[in-house]
């Protein structure tokens, strides 16, 4: 029996890896152990998986106390678990967590579940042997930008959507919000970008557009997991000062928050990609995902952080993009129309079917030779 150690720190990585762990429980030839840092740990716990907790801070500098502690913890976990191979998540590109520490210390076949196109993080000096990618564009970017090997498996996280009754879940989510039939729900999906003045400008522009919406509407705010309670209150105050009656979404997961919406807006959150996959599995048009990509500071920050001119799914026409603030009011009205929802529902059908993604990941791990 092969022993696989899975690690995660980032929430997005965890959502993919949870589905891989779930699929792995059906295999008699594979034993899976999970080690996770916050915030990833809670996603495994919610799914009912046993986790080795890593209660350590991420490192900003390799030889910092945080870096030393992470490497020591990686050594401890690897000694205790003695894995045959490792499958790690992917932390943000400017710091290191347990994923990067385990990659640095492990001597054997190593994989990373790449939840973002073309990204690799060798914070402690060592990349993985293989990156499990969402699509061919991610493979190309991985090779061009980092010179690492990558293979398409699809999106494990979105494989879970195949068991959802989208229409029934949408009705229930809107009922929990108390939405009447003729009310348009416009969602704002937050990000931890409050240090940038451009984020406040984006919020104010969005609030002004919502305020001018010509039909009855409900403004819903879904905070990002990385937003602190102070940042959440800051967002709510900005919107309320702009005269928008706001409802903070109480849904536990982003999927049901999205399903309650007619239009789901964010600066550059991956939730718009989630919305596209909800449309992919829906029998009827659900919602329009919208990227607020008009503030120069936000756009420059995005391009600096991810080193892409825009998301691959923007180029693929899966998301309505607002590039000029002056267009936002008209774009919201356009996005809420049934014909526009149908446009993005049809566009979602070009996505790769994610149903087999967890199995593909496990097949690659099982075939690895040390």
How many Å apart are CA 86 and CA 103, to the nearest integer?
8
Q: Are residues 75 and 137 in the same domain?
A: yes
DSSP string across 257-317: HHHT-SEEEESS-THHHHHHHHHHH-SS---EEEEE---HHHHHHHHHHH-SSS-HHHHTT
Q: Are residues 172 and 142 in the same domain?
A: no
pTM of the entire structure? 0.90
CATH number at residue 192: 3.40.50.2000
Q: Are residues 151 and 167 in the same domain?
A: no
pLDDT at 226: 79
| Cβ-based burial of 294 (10 A; exposed 0-12, middle 13-18, buried ≥19) | buried
Q: Does an H or E element contain 85, and which?
A: strand 85-88
Q: Are residues 92 and 124 in the same domain?
A: yes
Tokens of 264: 């789901």
How many Å apart are CA 352 and CA 331, to the nearest integer?
28
Please state at what angle helix 328-336 crosses helix 197-211, rounded to 10 degrees. Answer: 60
Q: Are residues 138 and 179 in the same domain?
A: no
Tokens of 160: 């879970």
How many Å apart are CA 34 and CA 41, to the nearest integer?
9
Q: Are residues 103 and 242 in the same domain?
A: no
Alpha-carbon distance values, 319 to 43, 230, 315, 322, 334 (Å): 27, 30, 9, 10, 13
How many Å apart are CA 248 and CA 317, to the nearest integer?
29
pLDDT at 158: 97
Q: Are residues 167 and 302 in the same domain?
A: yes
How many Å apart are CA 167 and CA 281, to the nearest integer?
10
Block residue for tokens 């678990």: 81
Q: Are residues 313 and 326 in the same domain?
A: yes
Q: Bridge partners of 59?
A: 96
- Phi, psi at 118, each rounded to 5°: 70, 15
Angle at 196 (CA atoms; ends 275, 302), nearest 5 degrees: 50
Q: Are residues 47 and 190 in the same domain?
A: no
Q: Are residues 93 and 176 in the same domain?
A: no
Q: Enumerate residue ranges in the chain where pLDDT < 50.
A: none
| Residue-range definition of the domain harbouring residue 314 | 163-350
* Strand pairing class (288-292; 85-88): unpaired
- Phi, psi at 230, each rounded to 5°: -65, -45
Q: Are residues 332 and 207 in the same domain?
A: yes
How many Å apart are CA 239 and CA 258, to the nearest integer?
19
Q: Are residues 105 and 218 in the same domain?
A: no
Sorted by sequence, the CB contacts under 8 Å of residue 121 that are 6+ apart come out as: 90, 91, 92, 93, 96, 99, 100
How many domains is the chain partitioned into structurally?
2
């Amino acid at each position: 029996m092969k022993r696989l150690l899975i690690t995660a720190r980032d929430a997005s990585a965890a959502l993919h890896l949870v589905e891989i762990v779930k699929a792995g429980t059906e295999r008699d030839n594979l034993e899976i152990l999970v080690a996770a840092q916050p915030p990833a740990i809670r996603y495994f716990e919610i799914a009912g998986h046993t986790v080795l907790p890593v209660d350590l801070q991420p490192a900003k500098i390799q030889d910092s106390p945080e870096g030393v502690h992470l490497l020591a913890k990686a050594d401890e976990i690897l000694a205790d678990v003695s894995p045959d191979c490792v499958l790690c998540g992917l932390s943000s590109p400017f710091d290191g967590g347990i994923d990067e520490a385990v990659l640095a210390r492990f001597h054997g076949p190593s994989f990373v579940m790449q939840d973002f196109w073309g990204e690799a993080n060798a914070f402690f000096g060592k990349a993985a042997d293989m990156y499990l990618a969402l699509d061919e564009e991610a493979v190309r970017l991985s090779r061009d930008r980092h010179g690492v090997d990558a293979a398409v498996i699809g999106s494990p996280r979105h494989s879970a959507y195949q068991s959802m009754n989208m229409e029934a879940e949408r009705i229930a989510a809107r009922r929990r919000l108390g939405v009447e039939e003729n009310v348009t729900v416009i969602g704002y999906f937050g990000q931890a970008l409050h240090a940038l003045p451009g984020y406040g400008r984006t919020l104010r522009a969005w609030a002004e557009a919502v305020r001018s919406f010509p039909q009855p509407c409900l403004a819903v705010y879904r905070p990002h997991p990385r937003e602190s309670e102070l940042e959440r209150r800051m967002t709510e105050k900005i919107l309320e000062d702009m005269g928008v009656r706001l409802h903070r979404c109480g849904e536990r997961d982003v999927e049901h928050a999205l399903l309650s919406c007619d239009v789901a807006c964010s600066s550059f959150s991956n939730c718009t990609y989630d919305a596209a996959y909800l449309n992919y599995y829906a029998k009827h048009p659900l919602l329009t995902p919208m990227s607020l990509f008009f503030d120069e500071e936000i756009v420059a920050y995005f391009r600096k952080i991810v080193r892409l001119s825009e998301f691959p799914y923007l180029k693929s026409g899966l998301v309505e993009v607002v590039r000029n603030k002056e267009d936002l009011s008209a774009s919201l009205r356009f996005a809420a129309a049934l014909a526009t929802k149908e446009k993005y529902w049809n566009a979602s059908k070009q996505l790769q079917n994610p149903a087999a993604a967890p199995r593909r990941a496990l097949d690659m791990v099982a075939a690895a030779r040390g």
